[in-house]
Every structure is written in structure tokens, then in C-alpha cells.
Amino acid sequence: MSRDILFEKLAQSESPSARLLPELLDALAWSGESVQLRNALSGSPLSMDGVDLLNTLANLGFRWDVRRFRGALTPERLPPLDFPVLIRSQLGKTFQLIENEQDLRKALPSLRRLFVYSFRFEPQRLAEQRQWFQALVLRFRGSIAELYVMSLLIALLTLVLPFYIRAVYNIEIPGNQFSDLLGLVPFALLGVVLQVWLTNRRQVRLADLGAELDITISIRVLEKLMLLRLPQLERYTPLSLASRLRSFQGLRSYLTGPLAQAALDLPFIVIYLIAIAVMSVPLMLLTLVMVLICFGGVYLVGRIARSVQQPLSRNPSNLEPLLLDLLDHYERIKRTGMERIWHARIERASSETAIQGLAPMRLQQLLAILTGEFSQLTGALVLATGAGIAIAGGSGIELGTMIAAMFFVWRVFRPIQMGYQALSRWSQVKPTLEQLNRFMASSDVEPSTSVTQPWILPMPRGQIEFCNVTLRLNALQEPSLSQVNLKIKPGNLVVLNGPEGSGTSSLLRLLDGQIQPGSGVIRFDGTDSRQFPLMQLRHAIDFLSDRPGVFSATLRENMRLADPFADDSLIINCLEIMGLEDLIEGSGLDRPIAMHGVNALALHQLQAVAIARMLIKDHSIFLLDHPFRLLDNKGTDSLLRLFQKRRGLVTTIVVSDEPRLLEMADQIILMKAGTVSFSGTPKDLMSAKQKASMQQAAMAGGSSPSN
């Protein structure tokens, strides 16, 4: 699909954001390929929203700055803008494209409060920062500053009620000034209402910030996951990867929980100390001493937490790995009758985990009790000290002053208590944070798959050449491929054949770019494969592994994974080619399908759907690893007809021992122990076998007289 056709399809979409995308890319002078845009699309083109639009631009290498403007707007109020920009009202969800100042002047009379997005081209670098998570949090410094402003206002509004109580007890009641008392009530109520409103706004903003952090972590971690080399990715099971992603997302609850409350409120305890000092310096000094004693306990708590966590880190619980293994191998465990053994193992691991968690839990409970009691103790000391000074006839501290001081003391110790709670969990959160930073800093990734990388070379047409290619998957293993040399002509139907471990599947994975050769060169159309952007090769090559699968979605949605713009007629045609007419009866393409459960397909249907999905896009090279193993007779016949029809049009390389395929092949490659033992036509193979048989017969005949 050309760029113009893709832009036209987007312009005809029902989604306003999708219709806006081609205009914006033209205004930004984007010069990429259509396949790059197609792979960068976030969400369905039919239901793309504003978030999907921004994510698509981010995938294409564009970054943006956002400015917020309030009130009635005029061109004079706006700073110089780097056009084009997107504008959106604060309450709206759709964007409007502004390409120049004239468009802006036309749009401003109908706008009041709005966001302005300006863009710059800044492709993402694969080399991540060591402190990735910390740098990510700092990206939200504008929102963090807004939260601190709210916290300052909340701290100032908190002064209203204690000073009102002080005025009531010290002035109004002794002076019997009832009218003045009623006159102050509205101001006190207003202060309380504003404080509650601001506190709620801060919590809402904090929740929004946490959601943004969650989404960003998920997207960036998944992007990094997709860049990992396949051998590294294969070390993890799907369940272990899901568990790791959940633990990464758990950082949000820690950051936006007690830690955020403590960090936002702690700097402003100075305001409460000043308020106490205004009323009574001795009470302020007493409170300050108690605060310093409390802060001194931070060091002690840190040492206790480390001493508790160190033995646990040296002997971590194996409960989670056991549970993941149980879920991974559940069917095998049931078949072999090993339920009792696994029950005993998990019971033992659960007991160890519970015992290991007792010490940190007890520490958290102790801290919660001590900090709560410490604040009450300080309040009682303030009250007792004030009463003692009054009885001694010193400065004559009044009852209202002591009550107000107690209010401020509790406000001082509230963030300290939150800080203690966050600190007690730090030893548990720190390993997850370090693990996330190490994961994002990993450099063992595929060559850049960025959709921003320009394509200089033409698309490969299907000519392939291996020159002295050697592959070793593991330093402790023998080479999977050793000094492989072969040539494949464009449009040929090539069959790879060999016993398990001969290197046939490894050869396909090398062609697909999943793994890199240890030595040697792979050429496409005479050009070193390393000169092609990996995404360009992936667009030219389609690969079907020996473990096909579908997603829990409709048949249409599964087929559109290959091309989100594929129309129903194309999808139906591809399914019919593979003999799946029965599958689209009844609900048609809206039929839900899955790997497991009530919508599960049979194995031969899964394989046929996976092959049909390959036909959606036009590729010049097809790689198939044992495609006939799971197909039924109808599917096998359909696939053989497909191979015959595509001979001369696309280069097809198939790992198979299907006799009929061997007969129709243009080239047969036999492999043994990672080397090519034969490469030629079926006729050449028959001649080689006849020659080998004659040689064996001659050798047997020559040795018979001596017997």
C-alpha cells in the first residue's frame, strides 16, 4: 500500500483523530514510508482518539511540548509558536490543526481555555539512562510543581481553623463578644471548605499523575521488551514476564501513596512551626525538639529495615517461581499424577514466605503505632508545658493557644508518620526499582526497529545468499550452523529438510533477523543484510513459526493484525484460499476465536488461520517452519496449491518433509549437524541418491569375494 493510498484511507476514517493525522504529518514534513506509519499506528484507525494520535506521533519519533492557557485568548496573549501546532480545549477531546498564524487568528475567537501542542522530531535512543525510572518521574516536574503549590495553599488554609479556635477561647469567650464570634464563623467555614476542596483536587491530580506514570511505564517497558533479542526473551515464560510487569506497575502505588503525601507536606511543616512560635516560642522549641528526635529515628529505622531485609535478599522465597511453574506445566502435572508432590512444595514455600514476611510486617505495624503515639505524646507535652508555664505565672499561655498549638503539632507529625510508613516499605520496593532500571538500561537489543529510520535501499526481491555463516546460540553448545554457504534465486520454492537439531529452524530465524550470525554474511539481492533497517527486512519477509497462535478476539481482528486496513473481502479471500469456508459461516468475521476456552479453535484451524493471515500482506520472502505438521488433509492440499500458485512470484522457504512438496520444489536443501549436505533440484537429489546407491552396491560387491 502506497503512502498516498494510506493517507486517503486515514482521511476517510470515522475517527476525527485519524482524519487529522495525514494533514499533521504533511505539515510536519514527515517523509517516511507507508509501512512505517502503518506499524506506528496506535489503536485502530477506525476508533483512534487523541491519545492514540499522540502515541502514533511518538512512535514516529516526534516529541511535543504542551502549554496551557486560561481565560479569553487573543493573539497578543500567546507567545511565538513553532507551527504547525495542535490545539485542544481543556474540556474537549478532539484536536484542531493550526498550520500558521492566520489559522490561529481564525480559531481564537471561539476558544478560551486550551492546550497548545508544539512538535519536534527527536527519535528515541536505544541507549537508556541508568536511572531510567528517576528520569521518568522528573518528566512530570510540571505536574509535581503544581502539586507543591496546592500543598502550600493547603498548609496556609490549615492555619485558619486553629487560629479561629484560639480567638474563640482567648478573646470571644472571656470578653462575651458573641456577635464577633458569629461574624468569624463564615471565614472559618470558608477556610475549611477551601481546604477540603484543594485537598480533594490534589488527590485527583495525584491519581491522574499515577495513571500517567502507569501508562508510560507499561508502554516503555513493552517497547523495550519488543526490542530484546529473541534468545534473551526466550529465557522468560509468559507468566514470569506478566509477573515482572505487574511488579513494575506496583511502583506507582508506592510513589503516589504515603511517600507522595510525606514528600508534599513535609516541606511545609515549617509554616506550622512558625505559627506555634507566633503564639509561644517555648511551645515551638518543644515541638522542634520532638521533631528532631523523630527525625533522628529515621536513621535507626533505616538500619533496622536493612538488617531485616538483608537475610531475606540472600534467601529469597521461591513461592512465585513455583506458582509460575505450576501454571506453566499444569496439564503435565495432572497427567503424571504429581499433585501431592507439588502441593507439598507449594505449602512449604508458602510457609517460608509467610515467615519471611513477618519481620517487615511487624516493623511496619510498630512504626505506625510509635509514630501515632509519638504525635499524641508531643501534643500532651505541649499541653502540659503550656499549663505549667501558666501555673508558674510566666508568660501566661492561654487555653486557646494551647489547643491551637496541639492542632499544629498533629499537622507537623502527620507527614512524618507518612514518611515512616514509606520508609518501612523502601527495602521491599528498592529491588523492583533497581530491576526496572537494569532492564531499561539493557543494551542486548535488536538493531534499531525505529520507524524513524529512513529506507535508502530498495525492498529485497527474494535473492538470498549465505556466505560462510556460523551461528552459536550458547557458548556452552556446539554451533547450530557451521560454515553455511548457499544461494537461493528469487521466486524459488525452497524446501529445507533435516533431522531435529540439524539447523533448519535456526537458518529461518537468521533470515528473519531474530538472531544474528556469529560470523559470515547474509545477503539480500547482493547487499549485506546489515545495511537494511530491520523494519524494512521485516516488511519484506514474513515468518510462520512451528507454534502458531491467535489472540482472544474476533476472526476479523486477528486477521487485521497483519494489516489494520484490510477489508473484509480480502480477509475472506485469504481464509477461503486455506479452505476455511466453514469457519466464516454463521457469525462470519465477527466470530470470536481463541487458543483456549469456549472459543478455542482446533489445531489445524489455528495453523490455517495463521497461514491465511500471512497472505494479507504482500511479501517478497515467505519463511515457514513445519507448516504441514498441524494441518488436516484439506489444509495440506490448500497449502500445496498455494505454493504451486506462488512459484516464480515470491521466494518461499519451507522446513518440511512433505513428499509432494519435495517433488514440486525448485530447490531442496538437506542439512545435517548444522551444515549443508546437499543443495539442488529434486532431479539432482534423485541422481545423487542413485549415485550413492550404486557406490554402496559397488563397495558391497567388491568386498564379497573376501567373505
CA distance linking residue 427 with residue 239, whole number of Å: 25
Which of 300-309, 331-340, 416-425 bottoms out in mean pLDDT, i.e. has the lowest?
A: 300-309
Residue 25's identity, in one-letter code, is L
Q: Name the 3-class secondary structure at 107.
A: helix
> Is the sign of the CA dihedral 69, 73, 76, 82 positive or negative?
positive
Catalogue all structural domains in the chain, each as residue range(s) with its CATH number. Answer: 3-121 (3.90.70), 132-440 (1.20.1560.10), 472-697 (3.40.50.300)
Residue 395: the pLDDT is 54
Instruction: Show the beta-strand stretches assigned E in 539-674.
Output: 541-544, 553-554, 592-593, 621-625, 651-655, 667-672
Q: Name the 3-class secondary structure at 405.
A: helix
Residue 302's identity, in one-letter code, is G
CA distance linking residue 394 with residue 391, whole number of Å: 8
Question: Across the chain, what does the average pLDDT equal?
Answer: 82
Cell of 583: 469457519
Which of 216-230, 301-315, 411-425 bottoms out in mean pLDDT, i.e. has the lowest?
A: 301-315
Residue 104: the pLDDT is 78
Interval 8-20 mean pLDDT:
89
Task: Count the alpha carbons within 13 Å of 108 in the hemisphere toward its beta carbon.
Answer: 16
**Between β-strands 527-528 and 541-544, what pairing exists: parallel, antiparallel or unpaired?**
unpaired
Cell of 473: 546460540
Q: Name the 3-class secondary structure at 248.
A: helix
- What angle do helix axes 178-227 and 238-255 make, rounded to 10 degrees? 160
Interval 491-497 mean pLDDT:
95
Residue 218's identity, in one-letter code, is S
Which of 327-341, 517-531, 649-663 bottoms out in mean pLDDT, i.e. has the lowest?
A: 327-341
Q: Element (H or E) spanning 675, and its range? A: strand 675-680
Among residues 512, 624, 596, 578, which one has the least CA distance to residue 230? Answer: 512
CB count in 10 Å sphere of residue 17: 24
Contact of 135 with 123, CB cutoff 8 Å: no
Instruction: Show the beta-strand stretches assigned E in 42-84.
Output: 62-69
| Tens-digit pLDDT profile for residues 438-463 | 878 776 666 555 566 677 788 899 99
Residue 191: the pLDDT is 87
With 0-12 / 13-18 / 19 or more C-beta atoms within 10 angstroms meaning exposed / middle / buried, residue 264 is buried
Cell of 339: 499433585
CA distance linking residue 650 with residue 358, whole number of Å: 64
Residue 126: the pLDDT is 44
Task: Count the alpha carbons within 13 Å of 630 in the hemisphere toward its beta carbon.
Answer: 21
**Between β-strands 667-672 and 675-680, what pairing exists: parallel, antiparallel or unpaired?**
antiparallel
Instruction: From residue 559, give the alpha-carbon distance in Å to each of 542, 564, 579, 629.
Output: 14, 8, 15, 22
What is the arrangement of strands in the sheet containing 114-121, beginning at the earlier edge strand?
62-69, 114-121, 85-89, 96-98
Residue 561 backbone phi and psi in degrees, to 5:
-65, -30
Residue 707: the pLDDT is 41
CB count in 10 Å sphere of residue 468: 12
Cell of 72: 479569553
Bridge partner residues of 279 (DSSP): none
| Tens-digit pLDDT profile for residues 177-234 | 666 667 778 888 898 899 999 999 999 888 888 887 877 787 778 777 777 776 666 6
CA 100 to chain centre: 36
Cell of 158: 490549615
Among residues 312, 388, 389, 383, which one has the least CA distance to residue 353? Answer: 312
Contact of 605 with 580, CB cutoff 8 Å: yes
Instruction: Show the beta-strand stretches assigned E in 537-674.
Output: 541-544, 553-554, 592-593, 621-625, 651-655, 667-672
CA distance linking residue 104 with residue 645, whole number of Å: 56
Most confident of 281-285, 306-310, 644-648: 644-648
Among residues 502, 499, 500, which one has the least CA distance to residue 484? Answer: 502
| Tens-digit pLDDT profile for residues 118-173 | 888 876 554 445 678 888 888 788 888 889 999 999 999 999 989 888 888 887 77
- 634 falls in which pLDDT band (50, 70, 90)? very high
Residue 102: the pLDDT is 81
CA distance linking residue 687 with residue 690, whole number of Å: 5
pTM for this model (two decimals):
0.69
Instruction: From residue 24, give the alpha-carbon distance in Å to each of 37, 85, 700.
Output: 13, 9, 78
CA 101 to chain centre: 38
With 0-12 / 13-18 / 19 or more C-beta atoms within 10 angstroms meaning exposed / middle / buried, residue 215 is middle
Contact of 486 with 465, CB cutoff 8 Å: yes
> Is the sign of the CA dihedral 421, 422, 426, 432 positive or negative?
positive
How far from each other are the two terminal CA atoms of the chain, in whole angstroms? 72
- Provide the residue count of the chain: 707
- 269 falls in which pLDDT band (50, 70, 90)? very high
Q: Name the 3-class secondary structure at 677.
A: strand
Interval 322-344 mean pLDDT:
76
Residue 428: the pLDDT is 73
